[in-house]
């Protein structure tokens, strides 16, 4: 612009491109921090021990009864696996559990041998989880799958069973009393595998993600991944590329990245016509000279997608599946219908793309999965299950010699509906920070030239994440990462032990005010013990977070419902103190903390 105000030059479009063949050193360092992988580590066999009590085995066609009989007083089996029968709802499980408790009592463990062959069968497991969590003393839940996890390249995988792992990983956050554990078996388990499973259940140990193969025991570990070296991923100007969910935030960013890598023919599909903002972004992309076709199509509609793929010219050489539907909610509030509502775009859509392209010469087949399926995400049990299916499908394709990559994405900055959902879940406050999509897509470029079927790309602080979900520290998945809390819980309990009841109640009240204020994003002076919890905007997910944090800090586990009722913070402090000192005949009436009172923060 000239000093007179006259425009000298107008730039309508420009494209940024990194200089040089290699990524800058600074980005290399940052990218390495974004990469995580799932590893399976050989572990010592479980020792044999007697557990006593009762174990319930559901869907047992694995001849577990005789083996479990060596460890438990009572082994109750239900051979009518509801997943096979088609499902009869939550009431079925409640009836089963009442009968077992009435006839045998002391229910220590429930083993659910999953035999589902369709994603809808996973909703049956959800209903079992809901029924178990409502018991006064919930037993430990073991979800047993078949070929859900790949321990070696080329091993066969059943994505339907992989989906159950996504659900199970969320159960740990929302219903920690169930101590939900996942065990994967081969298609035809050996006698040694069944004996190892029985010993694992009876041992009741801390490992909660396991695979058994030929009697050998393996445990899951999330580890820092390696940024692949510059590979041979080729984006061609004489080929077409399909992006499903192409009109969403991630889809449009991916389209721009592909164009930047040399693509000149893109087909973007979506269920709805583009809105004004999307049309503006498409117009900017078109300035590159690329041919961009926008096609209205539901990826879950196989016939429609067959038409789309058949009409792609030049022939397609790559697929990116980024379609998504969200319906978040904690597990105790999800119906089977809500649980399954998010599945068609992810699950049916991915399978359609797999079948419709398996005979084509593709250079890549990328599935946009989520970190939710790998480490779980409270409030997103259905979303985690759907994405875990994608992870399994990638391994399934690799085992068949087909190109596949499932990317467990963390939080991209400002990418539409998913970003809004992640904001609503306050993932950034819990250790999942956002990162620049350009950095993520640059990592994707490296991954396309590598051979792995699955990789996580996320900005993740495991210590902060485990602070709100303390059960993760003793489980399998995060054991190789640093989850050390800033202050050990036992030191805080010891401080309370030195106080009389009146002082301890004031201390706990002050502590709870601080924790509630943190969760609802209020200043420390805005929260006082006399306030009612139900008037502070605490939702179900916040209640789970509060319950888990109190468990971590004070060693007291309260029902989630307590945090959603009309009681005051002071009343909650009394409940905590009663749990800490259950033998006391009476407790003092709470009073509002005053200046100088001891406060735990």
Q: Hey, what are 258's tokens?
A: 């592909």
Share of the chain above pLDDT 90, in %: 56
> What is the structure's pLDDT at 1?
52
Q: Calculate mean pLDDT across residues 444-470.
A: 90
Q: Calculate mean pLDDT across residues 103-116.
A: 92
> What is the structure's pLDDT at 599?
37
| CA proximity to 431, closest of 492, 375, 393 | 375
Share of the chain above pLDDT 70, in %: 86
- CA 573, 575, 576 angle in degrees (round to 5)? 65
> Do 230 and 203 touch, CB atoms closer than 8 A?
no
pLDDT category at 493 given cuts 50, 70, 90 is low
User: Has domain 489-580 been given CATH number 1.10.1200.10?
Assistant: yes
Cα 438 to Cα 33, 395, 443, distances in angstroms: 15, 26, 9
Query: Do 41-218 and 489-580 come out as alike in CATH topology?
Result: no
**Candidate from 12-21, 280-289, 538-547, 586-595 with smallest mean pLDDT:** 586-595
Helical (H) or strand (E) element with 435: strand 432-435
> What is the structure's pLDDT at 331?
93
Q: Does residue 219 register a pLDDT over 60? A: yes
| CA proximity to 193, closest of 388, 389, 114, 201 | 201
> What is the structure's pLDDT at 90?
83
Q: Does residue 421 register a pLDDT over 60? A: no
d(CA 42, CA 44): 7
pLDDT category at 346 given cuts 50, 70, 90 is very high
Enumerate the β-bridge partners of residue 43: 217
Domain range summary for the chain, segments of one domain joined by +: 25-39+224-461, 41-218, 489-580
Q: Hey, what are 539's tokens?
A: 């939702």
> Tens of pLDDT along 548-595?
888 878 888 888 888 888 889 999 999 999 988 886 544 544 433 333
> What is the structure's pLDDT at 128?
94
| CA proximity to 406, closest of 354, 359, 356 | 354
Largest CA distance in the chain: 92
Structure-model confidence comparison of residues 346 and 429, the more confident one: 346
Q: Is 91 exposed, middle or buried (0-12, 13-18, 19+ CB in 10 A)?
A: exposed
d(CA 217, CA 120): 30
Structure-model confidence comparison of residues 593 and 341, the more confident one: 341
**Candidate from 145-159, 241-255, 299-313, 540-554 with smallest mean pLDDT:** 540-554
> Tens of pLDDT along 380-410?
999 999 999 999 999 999 999 999 999 999 9
Q: Does residue 413 register a pLDDT over 80? A: yes
Task: Give me the architecture of the 25-39+224-461 domain, per CATH.
Answer: 3-Layer(aba) Sandwich (3.40)
> What is the structure's pLDDT at 600?
41
pLDDT category at 514 given cuts 50, 70, 90 is confident
What is the CB neighbour count within 10 angstroms for residue 411? Answer: 23
> What is the structure's pLDDT at 172?
92
Q: Hey, what are 53's tokens?
A: 């009590």
Q: Does residue 508 register a pLDDT over 70? A: yes
> Do 438 and 469 touch, CB atoms closer than 8 A?
no
Q: Hey, what are 286's tokens?
A: 């078109």
Q: Does residue 83 register a pLDDT over 70? A: no
CATH for 41-218, among 3.40.50.300, 1.10.3080.10, 3.40.50.11460, 3.40.1110.10? 3.40.50.11460
| CA proximity to 324, closest of 270, 365, 275 | 270
SS3 labels along 14-67: CCCCCCCCCCCHHHHHHHHHHEEEEEEEEECCCCCCCCCCEEEEECCCCCCHHH
Structure-model confidence comparison of residues 556 and 34, the more confident one: 34
> What is the structure's pLDDT at 117?
85
Which residues touch 472 (CB under 8 Å, ≥6 apart)? 172, 462, 465, 466, 478, 483
What is the CB neighbour count within 10 angstroms for residue 237? Answer: 11
> Tens of pLDDT along 288-335?
999 999 999 999 999 999 999 999 999 999 999 999 998 988 899 899
Per the prediction, the chain carries an average pLDDT of: 86
Reduce the DSSP state of residue 530 to 3 states and report it. coil
Which residues touch 395 (CB under 8 Å, ≥6 apart)? 150, 155, 157, 162, 404, 406, 453, 454
> Tens of pLDDT along 119-135?
988 999 999 999 999 99
d(CA 142, CA 459): 30
pLDDT category at 489 given cuts 50, 70, 90 is low
Q: Hey, what are 336's tokens?
A: 């089977």
Enumerate the β-bridge partners of residue 107: 54
Q: Is 294 exposed, middle or buried (0-12, 13-18, 19+ CB in 10 A)?
A: middle
Reduce the DSSP state of residue 257 to 3 states and report it. helix
pLDDT category at 213 given cuts 50, 70, 90 is very high
> What is the structure's pLDDT at 86?
43
Q: Hey, what are 385's tokens?
A: 């299950």
């Amino acid at each position: 612009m000239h000093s007179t105000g006259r425009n000298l030059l107008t730039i309508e479009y420009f494209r940024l491109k990194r200089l040089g063949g290699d990524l800058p050193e600074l980005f290399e360092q940052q990218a390495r921090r974004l990469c995580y992988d799932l590893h399976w580590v050989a572990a010592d066999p479980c020792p044999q021990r007697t557990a006593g009590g009762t174990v319930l085995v559901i869907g047992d066609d694995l001849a577990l009864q005789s083996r479990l009989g060596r460890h438990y007083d009572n082994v109750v089996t239900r051979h009518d696996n509801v997943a096979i029968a088609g499902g009869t709802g939550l009431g079925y499980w409640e009836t089963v559990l009442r009968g077992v408790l009435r006839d045998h009592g002391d229910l220590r463990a429930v083993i659910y041998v999953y035999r589902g062959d369709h994603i809808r069968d996973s909703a049956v497991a959800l209903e079992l989880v809901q029924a178990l969590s409502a018991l006064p003393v919930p037993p430990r839940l073991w979800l047993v799958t078949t070929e859900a996890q790949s321990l070696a390249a080329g091993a066969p995988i059943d994505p339907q069973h992989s989906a159950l792992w996504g659900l199970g990983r969320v159960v740990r956050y929302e219903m920690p009393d169930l101590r939900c554990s996942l065990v994967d078996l081969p298609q035809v388990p050996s006698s040694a595998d069944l004996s190892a499973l029985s010993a694992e259940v009876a041992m009741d140990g801390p490992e909660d993600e396991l695979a058994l193969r030929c009697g050998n025991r393996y445990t899951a570990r999330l580890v820092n991944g390696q940024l692949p070296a510059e590979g041979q991923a080729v984006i061609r100007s004489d080929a077409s590329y399909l992006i499903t969910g192409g009109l969403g935030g991630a889809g449009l960013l991916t389209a721009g990245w592909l164009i930047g890598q040399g693509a000149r023919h893109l087909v973007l599909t979506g269920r709805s016509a583009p809105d004004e903002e999307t049309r503006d972004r498409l117009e900017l992309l078109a300035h590159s000279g690329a041919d961009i076709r926008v096609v209205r199509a539901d990826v879950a509609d196989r016939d429609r997608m067959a038409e789309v793929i058949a009409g792609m010219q030049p022939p397609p050489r790559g697929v990116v599946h980024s379609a998504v539907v969200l319906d978040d909610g904690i597990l105790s509030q999800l119906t089977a219908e809500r649980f399954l509502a998010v599945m068609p775009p992810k699950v049916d859509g991915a399978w359609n793309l797999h079948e419709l392209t398996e005979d084509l010469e593709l250079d890549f087949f990328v599935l946009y999965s989520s970190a939710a399926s790998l480490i779980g995400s409270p409030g997103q049990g259905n979303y985690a299950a759907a994405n875990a299916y994608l992870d399994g499908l990638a391994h399934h394709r690799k085992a068949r010699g087909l190109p596949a990559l499932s990317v467990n994405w963390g939080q991209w900055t400002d990418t539409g509906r998913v970003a809004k959902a992640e904001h609503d879940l306050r993932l950034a406050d819990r250790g999942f920070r956002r990162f620049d999509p350009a950095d993520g897509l640059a990592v994707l470029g490296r991954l396309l030239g590598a051979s792995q079927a699955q990789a996580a790309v996320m900005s993740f602080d495991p210590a902060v994440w485990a602070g709100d979900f303390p059960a993760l520290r003793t489980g399998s998945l995060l054991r190789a990462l640093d989850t050390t809390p800033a202050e050990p819980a036992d030191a805080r309990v010891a401080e309370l032990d030195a106080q009389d009841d009146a002082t301890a109640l004031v201390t706990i009240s002050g502590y709870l005010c601080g924790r509630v204020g943190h969760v609802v994003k209020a200043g420390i002076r805005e929260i006082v013990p006399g306030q009612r919890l139900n008037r502070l905007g605490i939702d179900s997910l916040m209640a789970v977070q509060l319950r888990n944090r109190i468990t971590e800090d004070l060693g007291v586990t309260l029902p989630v419902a307590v945090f959603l009722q009309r009681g005051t913070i002071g009343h909650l402090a009394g409940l905590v103190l009663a749990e800490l000192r259950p033998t006391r005949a009476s407790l003092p009436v709470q009073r509002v903390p005053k200046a100088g009172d001891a406060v735990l923060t």
